[in-house]
């Protein structure tokens, strides 16, 4: 395997199997390889294969992800691409645990096993923890998750516990939980599988590759992604750089990363041409992205710059209106995912996105992840068990 860990700033190299998440200079690490060797034909042929490893929308691209024999896979990926009203939606909520996190987790958990880890941990707003818990259960590893107390959506917390993880509800926000898990992993020798772990990024790249494959390798004009801890934005930038470098696509789509306006440190930096990094105290109904100090900031800046991308912000009202629209299409998603459509609306109004451009929104989480966000706005009509009550409720008269 020609892969190595490389610092994104000073480019110092480390062996691929060294347990470390940052360089000696403090910056993040990235998995880099000299050449990929296979390309579109191989990936397309695998799509028709019945082997589990080829069926996985992650391991189908294994030479460009992590080329090892023993993998922990559900399988994952293979999500649908919908077209509605001229916009494409890649629904990553269709992954085994209902979010895109499974694509990163299958790779991080495969690496955890290779490294002989006995326990794995993450800080999470809920989706990473559910994914970690499921993959750790499959791998036979102890799962420990650090979650912001009282701030995780019901579906995610229930899943995490059901799969058997130990959940530590930290009295503090996600950013506090993130700081604590890093310290705990260092001190207690636990393998950290947040997106600061470069193997998570390798798996999440395949969201972009699979959607390019769905589009028969014709690059769209825009790929739109919700932005929280900025792992996905980073992964998308790397995926596009590698796909373009390998000649799988002949032009680079632009990335649009969308934040909630109450959790917008990346947007603030973008507005100042990334002159400085911001940290905010985050608040938004989209609890998945209630993050004020994203760990993958530097990588994400690189992704936006390299793709001539943009960062936009949307209010809770705007993202919830977009969620109702996506739900009413019969597709549905959790609130954070709907920042994408809300962002598209705003970027079209401001003229950044133009008519006729092909846009792919990545829906990151399943509609059932956050039932409370739905039930605040709608309810069923309670009736007596009589036909009169049905008629009255439906305000329909009997057929003449
Ligand atoms: N959408 C959903 C549904 C998420 O769960 C997350 C992140 C994001 C978007 C943002 O992605 O962090 O890569 O910028 N969820 C993490 C978690 C923080 O713990 O589940 P990002």
- pLDDT by residue (tens digit) across 294-316? 999 999 999 999 999 999 999 99
Tell me how far the alpha carbon of residue 137 lies from the centroid of ligand 1, in angstroms.
21
Q: Give the ligand 1 atom nearest the CA of 257.
A: 14
Q: Which helix (H) or strand (E) holds 311?
A: strand 310-314
State in Å: Cα 373 to ligand 1 middle: 16
| pLDDT of res. 279 | 98
Angle at 165 between CA 162 and CA 166, to 5 degrees: 125
DSSP sequence for 12-51: -EE-TTS--SB-TTS-BEEEE-S-----HHHHHHHHT--S
CB of 131 closer than 6 angstroms to any ligand 1 atom: no
Say whether the peptide bond before residue 75 is cis (omega within 30 degrees of 0): yes
Q: What is the pLDDT of residue 400?
A: 56
124 close to ligand 1 (CB < 6 Angstrom): yes
What is the residue with the minimal CA distance to atom 6 of ligand 1? Answer: 288
Ligand 1 contacts CB of residue 265 (under 6 A): no
Tell me the backbone φ, ψ of residue 193, rounded to 5 degrees. -120, 30
**In this structure, are residues 363 and 90 in contact, taking their beta carbons and an 8 Å threshold?**
yes
**Partners of 6 in the β-ladder:** 13, 30
pTM over 0.85: yes
Token digits of residue 19: 């347990």
CB contact at 8 A, 170 and 146: yes
227 lines ligand 1 (CB under 6 A): yes
Find out whether 130 and 156 touch, Cβ atoms under 8 Å: yes
Please tell me if the CB atom of residue 128 comes closer than 6 angstroms to any atom of ligand 1.
yes
Ligand 1 neighbour 230 (Cβ under 6 A): yes
pLDDT at 1: 60
**Which ligand 1 atom sits closest to the C-alpha of 130?**
20
Identify whether the C-beta of residue 2 lies closer than 8 Å to the C-beta of residue 33. yes
- Tell me if 203 CB under 6 Å of ligand 1: no
Q: Is the CB of 231 under 6 A from ligand 1?
A: yes
Distance 228 CA to ligand 1 centre (A): 6
- 114: phi > 0 → left, psi -120 to 50 → alpha, else beta; which? alpha
Strand intervals (E) in 9-155: 13-14, 29-32, 81-84, 87-91, 119-123, 142-148
What separation in Å is there between the alpha carbon of 394 and the centre of ligand 1? Answer: 40
* Pairwise CA distance, residues 251 & 363, whole Å: 23
Residue ranges of the chain with per-residue pLDDT less than 50: none
**Tens of pLDDT, residues 133-153:** 999 999 999 999 999 999 999
CA–centroid distance, residue 375 to ligand 1 (Å): 22
Distance 330 CA to ligand 1 centre (A): 23
- Which of these, 323, 366, 363, 318, lies nearest to 343 by C-alpha position? 318
Strands of the 142-148 sheet, one edge to the other = 166-170, 142-148, 119-123, 191-192
């Amino acid at each position: 395997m020609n892969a190595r860990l490389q610092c994104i700033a000073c480019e110092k190299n480390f062996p691929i199997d060294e347990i470390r998440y940052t360089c000696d200079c403090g910056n993040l690490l990235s998995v880099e390889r000299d050449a990929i060797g296979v390309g579109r034909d191989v990936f397309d042929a695998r799509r028709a294969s019945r082997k589990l490893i080829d069926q996985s929308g992650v391991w189908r691209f294994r030479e460009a992800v992590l080329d090892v024999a023993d993998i922990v896979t559900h399988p994952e990926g293979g999500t649908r691409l919908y077209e509605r009203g001229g916009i494409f939606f890649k629904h990553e909520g269709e992954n085994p645990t209902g979010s895109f996190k499974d694509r990163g987790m299958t790779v991080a958990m495969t690496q955890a096993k290779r490294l002989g880890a006995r326990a794995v941990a993450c800080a999470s707003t809920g989706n990473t923890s559910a994914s970690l818990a499921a993959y750790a259960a499959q791998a036979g590893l102890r799962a420990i998750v650090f979650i912001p107390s009282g701030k995780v959506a019901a579906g995610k917390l229930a899943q995490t516990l059901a799969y058997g993880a130990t959940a530590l509800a930290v009295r503090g926000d996600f950013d506090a939980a993130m700081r604590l898990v890093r310290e705990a992993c260092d001190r207690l020798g636990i393998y950290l599988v947040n997106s600061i772990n470069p193997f998570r990024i390798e798996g999440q790249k395949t969201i972009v590759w699979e959607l390019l494959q769905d589009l028969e390798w014709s690059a769209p004009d825009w790929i739109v992604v919700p932005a929280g801890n900025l792992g996905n934005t980073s992964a998308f930038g790397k995926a596009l750089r590698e796909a373009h470098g390998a000649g799988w696509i002949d032009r680079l789509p632009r990335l649009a990363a969308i934040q909630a306006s109450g959790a917008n440190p990346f947007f603030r930096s973008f507005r100042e041409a990334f002159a400085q990094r911001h940290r905010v105290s985050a608040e938004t109904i989209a609890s998945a992205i209630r993050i004020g100090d994203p760990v993958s900031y530097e990588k994400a800046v690189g992704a936006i710059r390299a793709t001539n991308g943009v960062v936009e912000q949307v209010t809770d009202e705007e993202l919830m209106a977009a969620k109702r629209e996506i739900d009413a299409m019969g597709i549905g998603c959790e609130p954070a995912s709907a920042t994408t459509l809300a962002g598209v609306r705003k970027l079209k109004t401001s003229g950044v996105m133009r008519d006729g451009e092909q846009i792919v929104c990545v829906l990151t989480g399943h509609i059932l992840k956050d039932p409370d966000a739905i039930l605040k706005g709608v309810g069923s009509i309670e009736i007596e068990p009589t036909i009169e009550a049905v008629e009255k409720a439906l305000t329909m008269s009997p057929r003449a």
